[in-house]
Amino acid sequence: MSTETGPAPRAGAFRTKTVEQSIRDTEEPEHALRKSLSALDLTVFGVGVIIGTGIFVLTGAVAKENAGPATSLAFVVAGIVCGLAALCYAEFASTVPVAGSAYTFAYASLGELPAWIIGWDLVLEFALGTAVVAVGWSGYLRSLLENIGWQLPDALAGTNHLTGFGFDLLAFLLVLALTAVLVVGMKLSARVTTLIVAIKLAVVLIVIVAGSFFIKVSNWDPFIPPAQPQTGESGLQEPLVQLLFGYAPTNFGVLGIFTAASVVFFAFIGFDVVATAAEETRLPQRDMPRGIIGSLFICTVLYVAVSIVVTGMQHYTELSIDAPLADAFKSTGHPWYAGVISFGAVIGLMSVCLILLLGQTRVFFAMSRDGLLPRFFSITHPTFRTPYRATILLGVVIAIVAGFTNIEELAVLVNIGTLFAFVVVALGVLILRRTRPDLPRAFRTPLVPWLPIASVAASVWLMLNLPAETWLRFGLWMALGVIVYYAYGRRHSILGKRAEGESAPARGPQGP
């Protein structure tokens, strides 16, 4: 273990937890996680969570409304933004191989309150992401069941969400089943995910290979359609950049590619979940960078290929918004592929839910182990060495949310939450390079400080393209988090108690 050096620790809400102390805390028997994951497992996790709703749904909507055939370039732009963040995540995850991802990284660099805020943000991001994807999975499965003549009653199909009386039984049961898988252990989770990802990749490759035979080059003309001003949005629905600076984003044209990138960014959400499994990786210094960067690269290539094929099969103005891949094959007279794609979506979204739920439980576990949430939830299972209490609690809560609540309007919070995490991690790399230059770093983010600065700028730009209403809801959630921190977290912080113990005067033996 390296000796702790560096500047004197800060006090109060901005006290930092050293990397060495974070690693020592992982060695406490009651709070230790089992190390069982390899670079391949991490890459599979990354691919499993990234390829989901984005590739099966967003491609059509963005091509039809924002960028046309240039949607492939929008995926490249979004992939570059994520790539800048991925390089920062890779340095942190290999240097601080502790559960919690951006929360743990912020605790080591920015301080306790910023760490709490980003942890609070990730709890919302992963919870909403899991619930939203579970509801989408339920819709795909019901569609397949209806094709064979079996239909759930409306009251159990989630069809009455807008009235508040519907219950999505399938989404509810999916989250509970995945919760059980996570409780049993990470290796089982990795095996289940590997099987699911193999099926999902096979379906994606079928789309690319089979679809390439039905491409009409004329459908790519023009590749970048003429720019059109955005219409129909007003008030808090307008992008924040428009309200602040009067800049009006466009659909289509060169600027439309960047508008589309802020939308398709949702399709990349999830690669940062890989970092939450750092503590359960056998060789995190070597394997975390490989898993994070490798999964992002694979998915970017697949996204670009799918968007090129689909816009070549069917003119962008005729693409379906709900099921663009399946409907593109129908338009060529090959409806059989539509069923295969729907099956792939059902299988694929299961892995997305599983890994988002994994990320949620690990962040919650890390915050609990630090005392910022009740320590009861950081006790690991004596046999499986998983945070079973936190997993069961969150699994049940998210299952209920997915079953009862109409959360479509809240789903955009997942985007802003992820981008906010990207900003924090990039800033953390800059700060830790300055305050702890002595730390051994198995992977070093290149071109520091310029690359982290570019990551911050790119993430902030995409955040500004989100609706002002999203910023308002995000601000309210963050304000609630600050209240919870000062009401509970600060008073129960393990780091705070250690600091108080070190500063307390020595006492002699006490009499009876």
**Rounded to two decimals, what is the model's pTM?**
0.82
**Amino acid identity, position 498:** R
Which among 372, 390, 394 has a CA at the least distance from the CA of 381?
A: 390
Q: Which residues, in sequence order, are CB contacts of 90 under 8 Å at separation 6+?
A: 288, 289, 292, 293, 443, 445
Q: Residue 442: what are its φ and ψ, rounded to 5°?
A: -65, -30
Res 231: pLDDT: 63
**pLDDT band of 10, cuts 50, 70, 90:** low
What the block records as the tokens of 118 is 């980003």
Res 188: pLDDT: 64
pLDDT in tens, 266-292: 778 777 778 877 788 888 888 888 888
What the block records as the tokens of 113 is 């309150």
Domain boundary assignment for the chain: 36-229+239-497
Please report, in angstroms and rounded to a whole number, the separation of the first and last CA atoms in the chain. Answer: 41
Average pLDDT over residues 344-356: 83
Number of Cβ atoms within 10 Å of the Cβ of 473: 17
Domain 36-229+239-497, CATH among 1.20.1740.10, 3.20.20.80, 3.40.50.720, 1.10.10.10: 1.20.1740.10
pLDDT in tens, 121-142: 988 888 888 888 888 788 778 7
Q: Given the structure tokens 């979004």, which residue do they identify?
A: 78
Which among 461, 208, 400, 418 has a CA at the least distance from the CA of 313?
A: 208
- H-helix or E-strand containing 346? helix 336-369
Res 409: pLDDT: 55
Q: Given the structure tokens 């039905």, which residue do they identify?
A: 214
- CA 276 – CA 93 distance, rounded (Å): 8
Q: Which residues, in sequence order, are CB contacts of 247 under 8 Å at separation 6+?
A: 241
Rounded to the nearest 10°, the torsion over CA 275, 32, 395, 56 is: 20
